[in-house]
Amino acid sequence: MDLALAGRTIAIAGSTAGIGSALTTLLDREHARVLLVGGRSERLTALAQMLSPETPIGIIPGDLRRESDRNRCTNALLGSPELDGFVFLPVEFRPDAISEVRSSEFRETFDVNVFSAFEFAQAALSRASSSASFVFVSSIDAHRHPLHTPSASYDSSKRALESISESVAVEAGSRGIRSNCIIPGLIRTPMTEDFFGQEFEADRRRFLDAVPLGKPGNPEDVADLIMFLLSPLSGYINGTSIPVDGGFLCQGL
Ligand SMILES: NC(=O)c1ccc[n+]([C@@H]2O[C@H](COP(=O)([O-])OP(=O)(O)OC[C@H]3O[C@@H](n4cnc5c(N)ncnc54)[C@H](OP(=O)(O)O)[C@@H]3O)[C@@H](O)[C@H]2O)c1
């Protein structure tokens, strides 16, 4: 299927690992152009070197916990060529209970997961083409379920992203711009690698028993959905939050 992404310019924050790296590889295959925003410089350079020479149009490293780095990335986005897509994936995850988390830690999670998303999306909106598509990434942990271990700052940051995506969808829809959020379940990436170790075998088994498909997803399962949402083929999908979780959330657990 031709996703009609050739020649389209997509800004991706969080491209250097897991889902973002899979997405960038797929965009390269479709001959899209990518602007890689945020993350570690050496990783961004290594990723760009693996792509076709014409695919990366810019690399803007930045540690999104730092305000100065966020500002630099935002300014680069403000000066970018016209954008046909914007995807936000960076994540700070800490297993913190609401009764214990310090407000400095809570704030740091929000700096990476929410304030960066808001600041980058605002800049990307000012550079967005009349058929641009925005994609944000939430998590099943933003939706209550009994197998959930405490991660209060992460969970609330993810719920905030769903709302930010809806604001973009509603406010920018009249310009032809769409925005959607996806809700991944358990995906095997560097972020979750510990959970696939011996130590968590029983927890993992218990979790996967509650997933109708009985297995974790891989980064490409999520990247494929993002590709579709970036594509003009999803041109009437706007303002939604779509699970890609093997059927986990639909059980109303
Ligand atoms: N994997 C799952 O099971 C799962 C489930 C639900 C939702 N999600 C969501 O999916 C998205 C991608 O997750 P993933 O599993 O692909 O994670 P990952 O493999 O750990 O990749 C995380 C990405 O975020 C970037 N990042 C992290 N901290 C950063 C910081 N302070 N400044 C700049 N960039 C930073 C990393 O860049 P550098 O390493 O270059 O700094 C990397 O590119 C996240 O939003 C996550 O919440 C994942």
* This prediction's pTM: 0.98
Q: Tell me, what's the pLDDT at 215?
A: 98
Nearest CA to 220 out of 48, 84, 21, 13 is that of: 21
Please tell me the distance between residue 13's alpha carbon and the centre of ligand 1 in angstroms: 9
Single out the catalytic residue among 154, 165, 227, 229: 154
SS3 content of the chain, % helix, strand, coil (to 5): 45, 20, 35
Distance CA 211, CA 138 (A): 18
pLDDT tens-digit readout, 57-70: 999 999 999 999 99
pLDDT tens-digit readout, 2-20: 999 999 999 999 999 999 9
Q: Tell me, what's the pLDDT at 148?
A: 87
Joined together, the tokens standing for residue 44 give: 């961004």
Ranges of the chain with pLDDT below 50? none
Q: Is 19 in the pocket of ligand 1 (CB under 6 A)?
A: yes
Tell which atom from ligand 1 comes closest to the C-alpha of 141. Answer: 6
pLDDT tens-digit readout, 152-167: 999 999 999 999 999 9
Q: Is 112 in the pocket of ligand 1 (CB under 6 A)?
A: yes
Ordered structural domains, the chain, with CATH? 9-189+218-246 (3.40.50.720)
Q: Is 245 in the pocket of ligand 1 (CB under 6 A)?
A: no
Q: Tell me, what's the pLDDT at 147?
A: 87
CA 32 to each of CA 52, 83, 171, 227, 242: distance values in angstroms, whole numbers, following the listed order: 10, 11, 26, 11, 24
Q: Is 89 in the pocket of ligand 1 (CB under 6 A)?
A: yes
- Assess whether 236 carries a catalytic annotation: no
